């Protein structure tokens, strides 16, 4: 089984190298120890769409650059749902059910503004947002200064290794 990343560009404001960013996401997942059977969705959306998601799920008005929606791996217990009885007739499936890690949603138009502010290319900014969102799916956070420093260092390392040498000076 493989690590599957499903990418979709659902906006028309900014050109996105979808295949390259999907490949980057897969490389980050593998570098972080995720193995076969995992699935992630990588979505690129417009500012109104991400603003709606930001308001609905974070209670923050306006667009943001990236949102991550990790799916908890809750163990439903043995047996059938909803009665937790036996497994039922038949043999278990040959292939295990994929581990759905979650969704990363990126807004390229906000990435353009970030890139201008940070004097970076839009491609570099999109790559950073993809790596950042993917690390969030895997439990990384930046809630305090120590965690933020550690996460930023990991982002830099992953971008240097899997995306571009332009990250060396950042």
Would you write out the chain's pLDDT as a tens digit for each of its 170 residues? 688 999 999 999 999 999 999 999 999 999 999 987 889 999 999 999 999 999 999 999 999 999 999 986 544 443 333 444 444 445 544 555 558 899 999 999 999 999 999 999 999 999 999 999 999 999 999 999 999 999 999 999 999 999 976 655 55
What does the domain layout of the chain look like in residue ranges? 4-72+98-169
- 71 Rama sector, left if φ>0, alpha if ψ -120 to 50, beta otherwise: beta
154 CB contacts (<8 Å, ≥6 apart)? 135, 140
At the fourth CATH level, which superfamily is domain 4-72+98-169? Metalloproteases ("zincins"), catalytic domain (3.40.390.30)
Task: Detail the DSSP E strand segments found in the chain.
Answer: 4-9, 38-44, 66-70, 99-106
């Amino acid at each position: 089984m493989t690590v599957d990343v499903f990418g979709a560009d659902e906006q028309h404001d900014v050109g996105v190298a979808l295949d390259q960013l999907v490949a980057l996401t897969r490389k980050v997942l593998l570098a972080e120890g995720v193995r076969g059977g995992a699935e992630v969705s990588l979505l690129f959306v417009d500012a109104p769409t991400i603003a709606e998601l930001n308001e609905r799920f974070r209670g923050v008005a306006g667009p943001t650059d990236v949102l991550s929606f990790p799916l908890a791996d809750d163990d439903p217990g043995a047996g059938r749902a909803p009665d937790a009885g036996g497994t039922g007739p038949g043999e278990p499936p040959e292939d295990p059910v994929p581990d759905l890690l979650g969704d990363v949603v990126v807004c390229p138009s906000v990435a353009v503004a970030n890139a201008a502010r940070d004097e970076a290319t839009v491609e570099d900014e999109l790559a950073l947002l993809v790596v950042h969102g993917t690390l969030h799916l895997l439990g990384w956070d930046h809630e305090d200064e120590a965690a933020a420093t550690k996460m930023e260092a990991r982002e830099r390392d992953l971008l240097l290794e899997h995306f571009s040498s332009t990250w060396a000076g950042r």
